Structure 1
Amino acid sequence: MRRVQLEYGSGHVEVDLPDGAVVIRTGEPHREPWPLEDPVEATRSALENPLGSDRIRDLVRPGSRVTIAFPDRVKGGTHATAHRRVAVPLLLDELERGGVRLSDVRLVNAIGLHRKNTMDEMAELLGEHVVRRMGPERIVNHDAEDAEGMVTLERSDHGDAVEVNRCVVDSDLTILVGHASGNPYGGFSGGSKMPSTGLTGWRSIRCHHTPASMTRRDFAPPTTGSYFRSQLAAIRQRMESAMPQPFFTVDAVLDSQSRQLRVRAGAIGAVEEASWGMASERTEVRLPGPPADVLVIGMPRGFHYGAGMGTNPILMMQAIGASVIRARAALRPDPVVIATSICDGWFNSREFPPYAAAYDLLQSCRHPHEMTAHEDNFCNQPQWISAYRHQHGYHPFHAFSMIYMGSVARDLAQAVYIAGAQSPEHATGMGATPIDSVGDALADATALVGRDPRLIVIPELSKPAYHLVTHEGTRSARNV
């Protein structure tokens, strides 16, 4: 047996696991590509040599109105050479070379349905120098519920609703700053995913963050060839049909420490094609042997969505569903999942105001997919809209989309155990089985599997995730 520390609450718990367990940590067993020595120069070079597009200075003129959209706090890092911090100042320089006044430029935080960021957080994301250069009045959060600030376009070629931030269609040029990072929703972030989820309304987002798309066989393992991904591209293309000119994107492939591995700029399709190979090299981990029977996950109290992600039962189950999708190509078709979650029922109502009510509503449903019938009524309630718009809270539909991802684990796994749940009823309410310890859960898993199980272990869910595949597994995240 080997002893492994798993994240649990605000600390760790030590567990004894079979010697043959495959443990996935940052850099183990997979060695990532080396980060760029000079990300500033690499970004400057990408802007000078755009793919499928003219240079920005040639796309604008004096008097042009420009929007620069950047990702929110959920991903990308805040260190001095983080992609946002490097790209945005260079973009402002490039626009000034084209004769654009900074008073005609707006920076939009592409939060989608995430909570709005404070100006202090904006300064952390972009750098104090950018806030001083632009002035805080020119740096805003996307607001999916601003009736005057949103535009409804014709439906996409897939028939999906397209509600988009008015800045996108009113600007002479819209520039995107994106991250090509491994993502359980469609393989990678960045590219078409950036505007189609970050700058749209919930009625548009629910067209793809829904069981109808997420239960398709091509959704897991994550792949750029999924119907979900084609929905994002079709929504982006509908936006571009209403824009004066197509999006210009500056995407960076990031490593596990959010350092740039590659930077490419230009038209979205060309940038995606030039980025996904390196992104897959960073993200995909190929494991020896046959698929595993059991996935063991260490879950902290808080990680990328915010404080309490590992205690809020909806977000807890979402993290499990996302982990199953990322590991899908390295697991048997009906794995057992064991997660060490404190699961004490703390929803963190300050950041996630609608979540407790969404959880209560879920208890009236036989299956999470029945929540689709409640979307319109719940997501239009004034108190939840106000909390999103004015109190830095997540949008009500965000809770629904997280429930749908959690249901993926419920449907794909033959059992999901929550080891160490302090509020067992909340684990049960999400369709999981509360249990005292990982050891007890392994004993149950052995009985379910019918032999000593093969294990994949992810000790720290707070760390950047990989997409796992075995030589005998199914299709990997890369499908380009």
Structure 2
Amino acid sequence: MSRPGFVLEVDDRTPPLLVHNGEGFLLERFPLGTRVVYPPEALPAVRDVEEAIQNALLNPIDSEPLPELLRPGMRLTIAFDDISLPLPPMKKPDIRQRVIEAVLTMAADAGVDDVELISANALHRRLTANELRDIVGERVFRSFYPDGKLYNFDAEDAANLTHLGQTKHGEDVEISKRAAESDLLVYVNVNLVAMDGGHKSTSIGLASYKSLKHHHNSHTMIHSRSFMDHKASKMHHSAWRMGEVLTQHVKVFQIETTLNNDIFGGPLEFLQKREWEWSIKDQASMLSAKRGLALAPAKMRRKIFQDVRANYGLTGINAGAIEPVHEKTIEAVHRQHLVEVQGQSDVAIMGVPFVGPYNVNSVMNPILAACMGLGYYFNSYRGNPIVRKDGAVILYHPVDYEFSQLHHPSYVDFFEEVLSESTDPATIEAKFEKQYAEDPWYIHLYRTSNAYHGVHPFYMWYWISHALDHCGDIVWVGANRKTVERMGFRSASTLQDALEMVSHSVGRSPSITYLHNPPHLLADVR
């Protein structure tokens, strides 16, 4: 029986607590009275995954069973989430592979032979052949990739985009032409956190910049409270309106899966446990890993973490009409992640780990570190932020000046050119976004290499708009001072120094809450 998440109050008996710190971690002693929010333990996994998949496809919600939607001569498109989910990547076989194989088996039985598979990467980078293979499996890869029937979505291929219309708010809905002209679009989702899935899958994952700019902008992001609650997120409101237009033109069969919190195993299993419950073996593993990572060269350290594969177990799968399916999905996600927290704090503390959605098999550059901490983790709440208005956020991450020229070329220029003039999201958007979005070299790299779209760093900066607007002070512990200053933040050597630096706004005896994740949690702040 898995135990729920809970809130610990630090006292004299509390041991040093683990904090994620980029490609490493440390042990920190928190001030007495600090609230520590621990995630729930991993829920039991579905015992028979194949049976669960079959049951979902044959007994969908508000839809005919999948076999009844399939017929000879039809055009079938299967779209799926890209490598930004789940985090870290899961051990093989990927749940998307198992679902896609089941869908393809039913399609073959029905005599469907016009089938294409699309990685719904929007303005994310193109997946490599090996990355596609890891998601869909060897058999599907060999059957479809050589003939060009398994591929990455290209948001800049004008000839293969279709404009479906506008929402009542004047938002353009422009998606993959293949998906738009299909008799059936099957979407295979991995709902790792509450932000994922629903209409966001199709209306964002298969959309062009012309569509995405309507909700990936500073105004929408600053009013999304939070991204983890689609009913309170302006970004999701826009995606839902677009989804209404999309589903008027395209028949969508949505398949959503949910995973448990069983992330770390083997020598990193201690990361799954509460510190006072570490065995002698866990303590030895922690000390060995901590010392080894501290001594390892940067490339080796990165490879160690990039090779981490999570033990995720499937907790649920639902299929059918998008909205009722997503409601079931959110219920399952909340069962795994939700932790009730009473009231806000003056200070929130978060450790930023080694991986985020946009640095899988790559580098977490300063913009992505900020996005992970102030975008994803700050927004990991329902109801109210964990920190009060004008309170302080303290984050742990080295924030090294390091960028991947392959994956994030426009990020380098954004950091040097844009942030040197302003860190205000609205100012940045008005002055620079169009230039980067339409830059032919960035577009070329996005379409032909493995680079994120030129506008992508802007979206990551907009992602932190809510935190920038809400917080009075943001300090990074142990970070590169020049790097964080360029982003408008401050750096401290220790937690005590950071608390001293923010004391002018929160006082010398502030209330403090530390979000102890990953594994993932969602603070239900009452």
Calculate the TM-score normalised by the size of structure 1: 0.89
Query: Where in structure 2 are there 5+ consecutive unaligned residues?
Result: 1-11, 263-311
After the TM superposition, which residues 90-129 of structure 1 pair with which residues of structure 2 at under 5 Å, given as runs? 90-101=102-113, 104-129=114-139
Counterpart in the other structure of 1:40: 50
Counterpart in the other structure of 1:189: 196
The answer to whether the Cα contact below 8 Å between 2:367 and 2:457 also exists between their aligned partners in 1 is: yes
Q: What are the Cα deviations for residues 295-321 of structure 1, in whole angstroms up to 9, with x where unaligned?
A: 212224544321698752211221122
In 1, distance between residues paired with 2:68 and 2:364?
50
The answer to whether the Cα contact below 8 Å between 2:219 and 2:426 also exists between their aligned partners in 1 is: no
The answer to whether the Cα contact below 8 Å between 1:301 and 1:309 also exists between their aligned partners in 2 is: no
The answer to whether the Cα contact below 8 Å between 2:223 and 2:466 also exists between their aligned partners in 1 is: no
Counterpart in the other structure of 1:389: 447
* Seq. identity, %: 27
In 1, distance between residues paired with 2:353 and 2:405?
18
Residue 222 of structure 1 pairs with residue 229 of structure 2: yes
> Cα–Cα, structure 1 residues 155 and 83, in superposed 2: closer, same or farther, change >3 Å?
same
Among residues 437, 459, 480, which one is paired with 1:379 in the alignment? 437
In 1, distance between residues paired with 2:197 and 2:165?
23
In 1, distance between residues paired with 2:354 and 2:253?
38
Residue 177 of structure 1 pairs with residue 235 of structure 2: no
> Cα–Cα, structure 1 residues 210 and 285, in superposed 2: closer, same or farther, change >3 Å?
same
Counterpart in the other structure of 1:13: 26
Counterpart in the other structure of 1:232: 239
Q: What are the Cα deviations for residues 273-311 of structure 1, in whole angstroms up to 9, with x where unaligned?
A: 222222222222113x43222221222454432169875
Residue 284 of structure 1 pairs with residue 338 of structure 2: yes
Residue 416 of structure 1 pairs with residue 474 of structure 2: yes
> Cα–Cα, structure 1 residues 48 and 217, in superposed 2: closer, same or farther, change >3 Å?
closer
Q: What are the Cα deviations for residues 327-359 of structure 1, in whole angstroms up to 9, with x where unaligned?
A: 444322233111122112112222111001112
| Counterpart residue type for residue 195 of structure 1 | T
Q: What are the Cα deviations for residues 146-189 of structure 1, in whole angstroms up to 9, with x where unaligned?
A: 1111122311222212120111111111100012332xxxx431
Among residues 473, 490, 496, which one is paired with 1:439 in the alignment? 496
> Cα–Cα, structure 1 residues 171 and 355, in superposed 2: closer, same or farther, change >3 Å?
same
Among residues 383, 396, 400, which one is paired with 1:340 in the alignment? 396
- Give the secondary-structure state (helix, strand or coil) at the position aligned to 1:404: helix
**TM-fit CA distance, 1:262:** 1.1
The answer to whether the Cα contact below 8 Å between 2:40 and 2:521 also exists between their aligned partners in 1 is: no
The answer to whether the Cα contact below 8 Å between 1:85 and 1:126 also exists between their aligned partners in 2 is: yes
**TM-fit CA distance, 1:217:** 6.3
Counterpart in the other structure of 2:96: 84
Most deviating of 30-39 and 158-167? 30-39
Residue 148 of structure 1 pairs with residue 159 of structure 2: yes
- Give the secondary-structure state (helix, strand or coil) at the position aligned to 2:455: helix
Residue 164 of structure 1 pairs with residue 217 of structure 2: no
After the TM superposition, which residues 400-479 of structure 1 pair with which residues of structure 2 at under 5 Å, given as runs? 400-422=458-480, 424-460=481-517, 463-470=518-525, 473=526
- Give the secondary-structure state (helix, strand or coil) at the position aligned to 2:400: coil
In 1, distance between residues paired with 2:439 and 2:54?
46
In 1, distance between residues paired with 2:235 and 2:414?
24
| Counterpart residue type for residue 34 of structure 2 | A
Q: What are the Cα deviations for residues 110-153 of structure 1, in whole angstroms up to 9, with x where unaligned?
A: 11111111111111111112212334321100110111111223
> Cα–Cα, structure 1 residues 446 and 39, in superposed 2: closer, same or farther, change >3 Å?
farther
| Counterpart residue type for residue 23 of structure 1 | V
Query: Cα RMSD between the aligned structures?
Result: 2.2
The answer to whether the Cα contact below 8 Å between 2:356 and 2:364 also exists between their aligned partners in 1 is: no
> Cα–Cα, structure 1 residues 271 and 366, in superposed 2: closer, same or farther, change >3 Å?
closer
Most deviating of 374-383 and 439-448? 439-448
Query: Where in structure 1 are there 5+ consecutive unaligned residues?
Result: 474-480
Counterpart in the other structure of 1:361: 418
In 1, distance between residues paired with 2:48 and 2:99?
13
Calculate the TM-score normalised by the size of structure 2: 0.82
In 1, distance between residues paired with 2:329 and 2:369?
31
